Structures are given as structure tokens and as C-alpha cells.
Amino acid sequence: MRRLLGFITKEFIHIFRDLRTLIVLFGIPVTQILLFGYVITMEINDSSIAILDLSKDEVSLNLSDRLCSSGFFRQKENLNGYDDIERVLRSGKVKAVVVFGEGFGCDLITRGKASMSIIADGTEPNYATLVCNYITAIVNDFSREQNEVETGTVFLLQPEVRMFFNPELKDQFMFVPGVMAYVLIIICALMTSITITREKEFGTMEALLVSPLRAGHIIVGKVVPYMVLSFVTLVVILWVSWLVFELPIRGSLGLLIGISMLYILLGLSLGIFISTISKNMQQAIFISLMSLLLPTIILSGFIFPVENMPKAYDVASYLVPSKYYLIAIKNIMIKGLGIGYVWKETLAMCFMSAIFILLSIKNFKERLQ
Amino acid sequence: MREVVIRVENLVKRFGNFVANDHLNFEVYEGEIFGFLGANGAGKTTALRILSGLSSPTSGNVMVAGFDAKRQGEKIKRNIGYMCQRFSLYNDLTVRENITLYGGIYGMSSGLIKQRIDELLRQLEFEEYADRLIGGLPLGLKQKLAFSVAIFHEPKIVFLDEPTGGVDPIARRQFWEEIYAAAARGITVFVTTHYMDEAEYCDRVCIMDQGRIVAIGTPTALKQKYGASSIEDLFVGIARPNAQKE
């Protein structure tokens, strides 16, 4: 145990004396979260919309007025028919079209509900979601006020939202879990693979291998410090996400942290595995980035829905560790689900970590032959 | 007769078809400075790596510090020190931190480590460097320190793999004084080198060529036997004819 403690102390000294390591560990995650995060929290100001009013009654005109006087939207065009919708969206002049169906006001008063839809330009998914949310909020305000004024009749205005060009648009908070998934695994794998190959390059690994330290000691000694620091990184990411973007954590925070630590362990064991198959630091960096960056971004479901890809990609995605983490933390953070809904992903991550650790120990021992 | 601390019988190491060590047989006695000589690629580093547990033999018996290399590798590791040609201290740690680290790895208590560090630094006249990073020290000092670290836990045997590569003659001479001091304390020194003048400093030398041992004995006896004026002449005389057979 004393052997291990000395070794771990040394690892911490390495990390804290190297400014670059500290920047990678703490600077990059926060920068990434802020960069990606701001993509989704752009303020809406004077956004151009078009209105297709097939009813032109008192209520629909009132609501149109309300939308355009809110300060968030500016009415660019008044459309005459459904055919115009695609034309204006295609031209890119407006971000969304608000449609009031025929007999809008009449239906609302007599039947308590009326048909209304928002059709948004989905080529900028995050912006489109924001526009829709803003419009929906204004419409909800409006219907609540109407309800208060005209007691007796209950208005139910539920705009139907459609995304043009990108019907697969998902939750607006999907970026933060995605960034967490890819930042954590890349940092963990990269840092550990670099620290071990550096020892190989500088010749200190030989001294460790002839010492009474066992392969397991060396691996644990490398994993523990990065585990601790990655935990700090994780907390910082969650804190920044909550502080800046009001990211919800609907499920259990403990479960979220537990699963994240498992994912961090997975990243670290992957890094150790990479270090056992690479000869020097450049190779380790190259393998870490190539094997993780693109697969994580493309196949984890972070940006592109894997379900829409060819079958082969779908199958390949099961080999990408971040896929499981992403599913699990989305379920926990956004849907608020418990362990009963993420146990499969948890098991998959345990399994992958175990495989990488076993392979690393095997490779370590083979080096000695 | 002095105690045998290393016994090698019919040691063979193959890498595929290449035979790096071809039936080596030799013994090393306690407290002696045993030099392993040979051109690059003669198989000295391979043999040293097997003796120090970094590599395992294809066949043959190897006994180090009283333990069998095949079955008791862990016990051997506790009783040996090792220093390789690319020296093995951490550049971003201070002198004191490096020594503490290795002392801890070899299972020394922190009290003992503290006490021994002070002794060692005084003895090496290194006190002013104690809290300086290794990276900023001159190579000669680093090597002296690396050697001190390799024997800090008082091993029975210390293995040195071309320890004086790239330093000037004065630093090399000083380094050898450290080796003598260690041997005088009873530590057996097993050193590989291709500096022939260093071979003269050894108690006994073993000359390797193409994986085989071609001569073994004290420098004086070997020079007499082959009628050479120095180990260098001797080495060139023995290694050349073999090299030409290829």
C-alpha cells in the first residue's frame, strides 16, 4: 500500500507541475461546454416570421399583433396560402411560419379549441426549437389571459409544431450530455495514454518494471489520480451547465455521478489500453483522437441520430462507449428515470472497462517476455 | 570461496529465428564488479534484462540473489537495483522527491527514507540541489544520482546498463568511484559497457560476441592469456575474427 501511495503522489505532482495537463483537464471541458452550450441559448431578438392567417378574425389578428409586438418577432410577410409556406422558408427570409386555420376565432369561442400550427426552419435546429418555444409561450400567455377575461369558456390553444427539413429534432438540452460524453472520454483516454507512454519514452517505465511494483500497481497508480481530477472536472461541467444554461437534472444526482464515474473509469482503462499498444506519445495521441473523436461524435447519437444511418453504422455504434453513457445520462438528466432504466447501459460500460483493463494487464505482461 | 549471487546455466534467448543469447554459462560472486563487454547487438542488454527480470529466458537456469528467475521473479525484484542507459529519474520531480518515490516503491518506511536522503545528499555533496528539479541538473550529476537511487534500498546486486553513455571522462571517473564505494559496501555490481577503459576497472569481465561468451576472467588474466596489452586490443582481437566469419 505504501508503494502505491508514493506512486500516486508522484502522479499528482506530474499533473500539478504541468500547466498544459491542467489546461486539458479543466480548461477544455469548460470551454467546450460553453461553446456548445451557447449554440443553444442564443437570445431571440427581432426574429423574422411570416403569418398565414386563413381566418382573419378578431382573435387571430389579436394574437398576431401580440406576437409581433413582443419584441422577439417581426412580421416579414403575410402569406395567402399553404403553397407560400415552403417558398418563404426555402428563401430563408423567415425562421418560422405561424398558421391560423380557417374559422380560428369562431372555433375557439364555440368549441374551446382551434387549429393553429407553427412551422419552423429546422436547418438550424437549436434556433428553430427556441423560436417555437417562444411562440408557444406567447400563445399560452394569450390563451390564459383570454380565459381570465371570458370566464365560462375555457380556451385550449395548443399550437401544433412542425419542423421543416429536420423532423428528427430532439430535446434542446441534448448538447450538454453530448459534450459531457465526448469531452470526458477523450480527456480520460488521452491523459492516461500520454502519461504511460511518456514513461516509456523517458525510460522511467523500465525502472518501474524492475521494481517490486506489479502491473496492477502501476495501472491503479495511474488511474486513481485521474479519477479524482476527472471527478472534479465532472462537477465543474455540471455546475457550469446548471449555472449558465439552467440544465435540468431531473433524475437522481447520485446516480448521474455514479454512472459518470463509471464512464470516466472506462475512459481511463481505454487510455491505458491505448498506451500498451503505442510506442510513443505521438502515437498514443493519434490513436486516442482518431479512435474516439469521430466515432464519438458520429456514432454515439450525440449530433446525428444513429437510427437513420445504414445498418452497418447502427451495428458499429454498439462498440462506441459514449453511446451507452449518452443514453444513460439523457435518461437520468432529461427524462428523470432511475437505475431500472439504465442498468443495461451500466452493465455494458462495466463490461467494456473490464475488457480494457484485462487486455492492458495482458499486454503489460507480454512486454516482459 | 565467495558466495555466488548470480548463476547462469545454459541460458538461451531467442527472438523468432534470431538467437540473442546462445547457451550462456557464468557465475558472479558477492561484492565483485562484473563487467559485461560486447559490441552493440552482441546480446549484453538482453542478458541483463533477463537477469533483472524484465524479460524471461527461452531456456536455461538463472539464479539471482538466491532466487530462481523463472518462479521467484518478485523476490528477485526486491533484492536488486537497476539503472538503464536512458536514465530513470523524473525530470519534473525534485531530487528529494525522486529519491522518496523510489524508496517508497521499494517498501522503505518514510522515516528511514528521510534519514537516508539526508545522509546521501551530504555524502554526494548534493545538499544545495535537494529541492531542485532533476531536469535542470547537468547530465553527470543526474547519472551519479540515478546510481545512488538504484542502490538506495541497499540491494544485493545492482544492474547497470551502459550507465556512463554520453558523459565526459571526468564525470565517468567520478561515476566509477561511486561504483567502487558501492562494491566496498558489499553490493555486487553487474555492469554492461562498450567503453574498454571501463573494463579495466572491473574485477572480472565477460566478453560477448554474437550472443556467445568468448572470454571470461580478470582483466589481467585475460590480457596475459591472449597476449594483449589492453582490454581494447584483446576485445578487437577476439571480436574481429568472429565478425568476419559471417
Quickly count: other Cβ atoms within 10 Å of residue A126's Cβ: 17
Q: Is the pLDDT of residue A73 over 70?
A: yes
Q: What percent of chain A has a predicted confidence (pLDDT) above 70?
A: 86
B245 versus A75: which is more confidently predicted? A75
Burial-class residue A283 by CB neighbours within 10 Å (0-12, 13-18, 19+).
middle
Q: Mean pLDDT, to the nearest integer, of A25-54?
A: 76
Give the residue from A63, A67, A96 showing the smallest Cα distance to A79: A96
Query: If DSSP codes are grouped into helix, strand and coil, which group holds residue B103?
Result: helix
Cell numbers found for residue A272 = 491505458
Q: Give the ipTM.
A: 0.85
Q: What is the torsional sign of CA B185, B186, B191, B197?
A: positive
Cβ of B89 within 8 Å of Cβ of A212? The answer is: no
Give the residue from B98, B177, B83 showing the smallest Cα distance to B137: B98
**DSSP annotation of B133:** B
**A88-102, A250-264, A315-329, A349-363: least confidently modelled range:** A88-102
Neighbouring residues of A12: CB distance < 8 A, sequence distance ≥ 6 = A225
Can you give the pLDDT at residue B242?
Answer: 54
Q: Considering chain A, what is the average pLDDT of its residues?
A: 81
CA distances from A21 to A99, A167, A226 (A): 54, 41, 11
Chain A: nearest CA to B216, how far in angstroms?
27
Can you give the pLDDT at residue B189?
Answer: 96
Q: Is the pLDDT of residue A248 over 80?
A: no
Cβ of B78 within 8 Å of Cβ of A207? The answer is: no
Binding-site residues on chain B for chain A (CB distance < 8 A): 52-56, 74, 77-78, 80, 82-93, 97, 100-107, 109-110, 159
A76-96 pLDDT, tens digit per residue, is: 778 888 888 888 887 777 888
**DSSP annotation of B32:** -
Confidence band (pLDDT; 50, 70, 90) for A166? very low
Q: Name the strand (E) or helix (H) holding B61.
A: strand B59-64
Residue spans of the domains in chain A: they are 47-164, 172-368
Cell numbers found for residue B62 = 538463472
Q: Is the pLDDT of residue A153 over 60?
A: no
CA-CA distance, A229 to A222, in Å (whole number)? 12
| Architecture of the domain delimited by A47-164 | 3-Layer(aba) Sandwich (3.40)
N- to C-terminal Cα distance for chain A?
27
Can you give the pLDDT at residue A367?
Answer: 64
Which residues does chain B have within 8 Å of residue A207's beta carbon, measured at their own beta carbons? Answer: 82-84, 88, 102
Which A positions 85-104 lie with beta carbon below 8 A of chain B?
none
Cell numbers found for residue A99 = 398558421
Please check whether residue B61 is in contact with residue B218, taking contact to mean a CB–CB distance below 8 angstroms. no
Side-chain half-sphere CA neighbours of A245 within 13 A: 25
The tens place of each residue's pLDDT in chain B, 246 residues long, gives: 578 999 999 999 998 889 899 999 999 999 999 999 888 888 888 999 899 888 888 999 999 999 998 888 888 999 999 998 776 789 899 999 999 999 999 989 989 999 999 999 998 888 888 899 998 888 888 888 999 999 999 999 999 988 887 778 888 888 999 999 999 999 999 999 888 888 889 999 999 888 899 889 999 998 888 888 888 888 887 766 555 444
Please check whether residue A332 is in contact with residue A259, taking contact to mean a CB–CB distance below 8 angstroms. yes
Give the residue from B100, B95, B182, B82 showing the smallest Cα distance to B142: B95
Can you give the pLDDT at residue A364?
Answer: 78
Which A positions 171-200 lie with beta carbon below 8 A of chain B?
none
Give the chain A residue nearest B87 (alpha carbons): A203
Q: Mean pLDDT, to the nearest integer, of A34-39?
A: 71
User: Which long-range contacts does A329-332 make (Cβ < 8 Å, 24+ apart)?
Assistant: A329/A177, A329/A180, A329/A181, A329/A256, A329/A259, A329/A260, A330/A171, A330/A174, A330/A177, A331/A251, A332/A249, A332/A250, A332/A251, A332/A252, A332/A255, A332/A256, A332/A259
Can you give the pLDDT at residue A170?
Answer: 42
A162 versus A120: which is more confidently predicted? A120
Cβ of A3 within 8 Å of Cβ of B105? The answer is: yes
CA-CA distance, B10 to B102, in Å (whole number)? 33
CA-CA distance, B178 to B184, in Å (whole number)? 10
Q: Is the pLDDT of residue A53 over 50?
A: yes
A303-317 pLDDT, tens digit per residue, is: 666 766 788 888 888
Cell numbers found for residue A361 = 494487464
Chain B: nearest CA to A210, how far in angstroms?
6
Q: Which residues pair with A166 in a beta bridge?
A: none
Give the residue from A148, A158, A146 showing the smallest Cα distance to A113: A158
Can you give the pLDDT at residue A126?
Answer: 67
CA-CA distance, B142 to B135, in Å (whole number)? 9
Can you give the pLDDT at residue A155?
Answer: 56
A271-311 pLDDT, tens digit per residue, is: 999 998 888 889 998 998 888 888 888 888 776 667 667 88
Q: Mean pLDDT, to the nearest integer, of A126-145?
A: 79
Please check whether residue B145 is in contact with residue B90, taking contact to mean a CB–CB distance below 8 angstroms. no
Can you give the pLDDT at residue B223?
Answer: 87
Which residues does chain A have within 8 Å of residue B155's beta carbon, measured at their own beta carbons? Answer: none
User: Which long-range contacts does B243-246 make (Cβ < 8 Å, 24+ apart)?
Assistant: B243/B39, B243/B209, B243/B210
CA-CA distance, B25 to A208, in Å (whole number)? 28
B112 versus A206: which is more confidently predicted? B112
What residue type is B190 in one-letter code? F
Cβ of A368 within 8 Å of Cβ of B55? The answer is: yes
Can you give the pLDDT at residue B34?
Answer: 95
Cβ of B82 within 8 Å of Cβ of A206? The answer is: yes
